[in-house]
Amino acid sequence: MQRALSLNSSPDIGVPLRLLLSAPVFVLLAALLLLWEGPTAMVSRWTAPTLAITHLLTLGALASAMAGAMMQILPVATGINVYSPRMTSTAVHGLLSSGTLVLAAGFLSGRTGLFPLAGGLLGGALLWLALACAGGLWLYRKQATKGSIEILSATRFAILALAVTATIGVVLAAGWAGWLPLSRPLTDVHAAWGLLGWVGLLIIGMAYQVIPIFQVTELYPKVVTRWLAPALFVLLVAFTANHYLASSIQWEIGRAIALLLLGGCLIFAAITFQLLWTRKRPEPDTTTLFWRTAMISLAGCAPVWLLQISGTGDFTVTLGVLFLVGFAWSAINGMLYKIIPFLLWYHLQKDLTIALRVVPKVKQIIPDEIAARQFWPHLAALLLLVAASLKPMMFTHAAALALAVSVLWLGWNIMLALRLFVRARQEIAQALKTATPPWQLTPDKR
């Protein structure tokens, strides 16, 4: 049986919406910066432009979108709200957005004085979010709906990973400021916790809910929903510990842990792709296409990583493209086409006591045929970015342009949905003024 949604637990529309709307803006900034910097931004993960673009994507886009999605999906899917959602959303949005911009400016300008400010803003944003989520999970634990244990388990581990990521990030910011030694191994640990821990675990937990309900698929196997998230978290702990243990077989242990992490991701990708392929509706909608792209990209990280450890070349930028844009952003882009129309529809009709024809249906807010057109520039951008990671001089500018076109198209579709929302709210208000209450109708008119 499909899990039921607790719609009455949905927060105020501004709580998730401000964070969700920030995501395309930061992807656009990353695309424009890539267009400006050109091939130098795709040569190595360690160049200043690459670091700036990476954090515009990870913090400005992915973290914002996932925070907004979690604040909306967590109460609806589990009955548990984030602590003080309105204040948390406002504070996290402000700190995260400003901190991301300051950090990017620090990388691009080389001004060390910007890194402590960025570390304070971003550390405050991420730790605030982690504490607010942890507080909500504890305070409202008795309100958890039946069947939500798998989502809550993955979310708890993702929040812990977020706290670890934020803490390491503050230490690294102090290193960039010159206050502490800057450690490359610590950078790898930071990336692992941020990407596989916070991003990966939260997307996995959200997928347990949104794939079966919005994609009309079977539920994920119990063994996966029960053990995958804790197993990945334990492996991340082991990966971190191995970085600082003096051992003659440290390299071998690290590779074994990395293979197990990779195997866990492949299991999730394969099962999700199989569920999407055998969904009860034969024709894929736009979100299905985005999710399939996300799973193919996640699976594609495996052969690229094997090439990386084989010593045949440096493929870290390709790995970053596949994970950040191919997996994470594809999944989020697809979810936006479900979450935003649902949000707008729900807040249009939730307080109505009578049915009104002026209330649009969910599918009318962003029609699938309109959303589908944006998938193709997104796919083109992803393929060009992968090509640019291998041949920067040939493909970087085309990749940046394609990514900008894709995200502008997404933003245009969202803007049309918001305009429809505003117009529908005005029409609803007008209709309510002229509507006759049911108790005033004569029996023959009822």
Q: What is the dihedral of CA 392, 393, 394, 396, to 10 degrees?
A: 50
Let me know if residue 397 belongs to a domain: yes
Residue with tokens 């084989």: 310
Using CA atoms, how far apart are residues 91 and 15, in angstroms rounded to an integer?
Answer: 11
Contact partners, residue 109, CB within 8 Å, separation at least 6: none
Instruction: Copy the structure tokens of residue 150.
Output: 């798998």
Residue 354, sorted as left (phi over 0), alpha (psi -120 to 50) or beta, turns out to be beta
The Cα angle at residue 78 between residues 73 and 83, in degrees rounded to 5 = 75
Residue with tokens 């539920």: 219
Using CA atoms, how far apart are residues 271 and 280, in angstroms rounded to an integer?
Answer: 15
pLDDT of residue 444: 46
Q: Cα 409 vs. chain centroid, distance in angstroms?
A: 19
Let me know if residue 443 belongs to a domain: no
What would the 3-class secondary structure string for 208-245 be? HHHHHHHCCCCCCCHHHHHHHHHHHHHHHHHHHHHHCC
pLDDT of residue 251: 81
Instruction: Give me the domain span that covers residue 159.
Output: 7-429
The DSSP 8-state label assigned to residue 366 in this structure reads S
Let me know if residue 1 belongs to a domain: no
Let me know if residue 434 belongs to a domain: no
Following DSSP, what letter does each residue of 315-356 receive, concatenated? Answer: -HHHHHIIIIIIIIIHHHHHHHHHHHHHHHHHHHHTT-SS--
Residue by residue, pLDDT tens for the chain (446 residues) are 345 666 777 889 999 999 999 999 999 999 999 999 999 999 988 899 999 999 999 999 999 999 999 898 888 888 888 899 999 999 999 999 999 999 999 999 999 999 999 999 999 999 999 999 999 888 888 877 777 788 888 989 999 999 999 999 999 999 888 888 877 788 989 999 999 999 999 999 999 988 988 888 899 999 999 999 999 999 999 999 988 877 778 888 888 998 999 999 999 999 999 999 988 877 889 999 999 999 999 999 999 998 888 878 889 999 999 999 999 999 999 999 999 999 999 888 887 777 778 888 989 999 999 999 999 999 999 999 999 999 999 999 999 999 999 999 999 999 999 999 999 988 888 888 776 555 454 444 44
Let me know if residue 117 belongs to a domain: yes
Domains of the chain: total: 1
CATH code, domain with 65:
1.20.210.10
Let me know if residue 442 belongs to a domain: no
Phi, psi of 236 (to 5 degrees): -65, -40
Let me know if residue 270 belongs to a domain: yes
Coil vs helix vs strand at 272? helix
Using CA atoms, how far apart are residues 190 and 197, in angstroms rounded to an integer?
Answer: 10
Exposed (0-12), middle (13-18) or buried (19+): which is 436, by Cβ within 10 Å? exposed
Following DSSP, what letter does each residue of 408-446 receive, concatenated? Answer: HHHHHHHHHHHHHHHHHHHHHHHHHHHPPPGGGS-GGG-
Let me know if residue 395 belongs to a domain: yes
pLDDT of residue 1: 35
pLDDT of residue 428: 87
